[in-house]
Each structure stands twice: as C-alpha cells, then as structure tokens.
Amino acid sequence: MGALSGKIALVTGGSRGLGREMVLGFAREGADVVIASRKLEACEAVAREVEGLGRRALPVAAHVGRWEDNDALAARALAEFGRVDVLVNNAGMSPLAPSLAEASEALFDKVMDVNFKGPFRLSVLIGEAMMAGAGGAIINLSSTAAFKPEPHTVPYSGAKAAVNAMTVALAKAFAPRVRVNCIAPGPFLTDVSTVWRENRAYEQSLGLKRFGEPNEIVGTALYLASDASSYVTGQVIRVDGGTW
C-alpha cells in the first residue's frame, strides 16, 4: 500500500471502465487524482468515490479530441496541484463503419483525434511540465488491435499503432526525467464491449479462455506509475489474456 503516496495523477477517460478502475486504484495507493472525461457529472461521481478513500479529486470536463481542451485540462491540473506526477492517456473510442468504403472522413478524423491527437498534445504539455519539475511517468493506452489489425478496424488500429510509436518517441524526448510507457489492453468486459462479449469462440481463443475484468488493468498501471518500474521506459505491455 502507498506506492503512489503523495503523487498527483491525471487520468483521461477516468469516469468509467478501465479509466475509473485506474483512478480508484491510484487513490487507494495514496494518489490525488484529476479525473477527466467529456461529462462533468460522471467525473464528479468518481471524484466522490476518490474523496471517500481520503484523497483529493479534481473532476474536469474535457474532450481529448480537441486541441484546446487538452490545453485547458493541463492548465487546470497544474494550477490546482502545482504538478502532475503521473499522466494516463486512457480516453479512446472505436466506432465502426459498415464497410471500408463507407468509412466517412468524419469518422476517420474522430478516431484519430481522440485516440492519437489528444494523447499527443496532452503528453507534450504534461511531459514538458514534468521535465521542468521533478520528473514523472506517462502511461498511454493502446490496444491489441495495433498488433492484430482487421479490415473493419483500420482507422482504430492505425491510431493505436501511432500511440505505440509515440510512446517510444516521447520516451526518448523526455528522458531521463520522464518515463513513457504504454499498456495495450485486450478484450475487457467494460460497458463498451457489447459487440463481442457474447462471442464464446473469441473468448475460447484467448490463452486464459476468458475476457478481462476491468480491475485487472490496475496492477500493470500501478507498476508503470510507481517506482517499481523505475528502469522501464519506451515499452508497450500487452494485458490481453493471451491474444495470440
């Protein structure tokens, strides 16, 4: 306990799913948390849970696909706490088009904006602040779709592959004061997993023969956020139950 005692963490997409689990996991380990997502009310609900654990919480409404929202989010977090020790770029989306030819420019841009442009901008802003201060850790969220792209996931897989590349590049840019790593989740049973959660053939194809529970992301996130991974940077860690 206390692996993040006294730390300040910022988690995007922190109001539900994997993001909420990481927010609460960080708080249990002693961190104060900035919780960002598009809906302020949802952030405020999780903030109350964090405060119930005895930690401070700052809920912020932000659409990470918008450049200016990332600027405002970074400024708000730094003004409130003076620093950010851990950044988790968790917010993402994976809308599907009926076919490759029917993928609209608007859908393509939306997927790229939320999954790649936003994490890039926020990482640069927070990373520069970390470099000017005591350092820190940045954790990006990618996907096993970056390693196993399918025809129906081309924009999403491409955006997540870009996140993997960004992780390595920013680890070099911000070294040695800031460590930058990435988690590539596989199939987790969150509220956005409705498309495949009843697919038993898919479930049985996994090495562990089951889908992941949202809380099972927390151990890897804590590892990368804490001093337990002090000699780890530029890495993409698959947490996927054996998606081979």
Catalytic site positions: 156
CA terminus-to-terminus distance, the chain: 33
What CA dihedral angle connects 116, 121, 126 and 132, to 10 degrees? 130
Look up residue 68 and give its two tokens. 């200016």
Q: Please, are residues 89 and 118 in contact by the beta-carbon 8 Å criterion?
A: yes
Residue type, 117: K
Q: For residues 12 and 183, give the distance between their C-alpha atoms in angstroms, rounded to a whole number.
A: 14
Closest CA to 9 of 103, 85, 113: 85
Strands (E), 29-132: 32-37, 57-61, 86-89
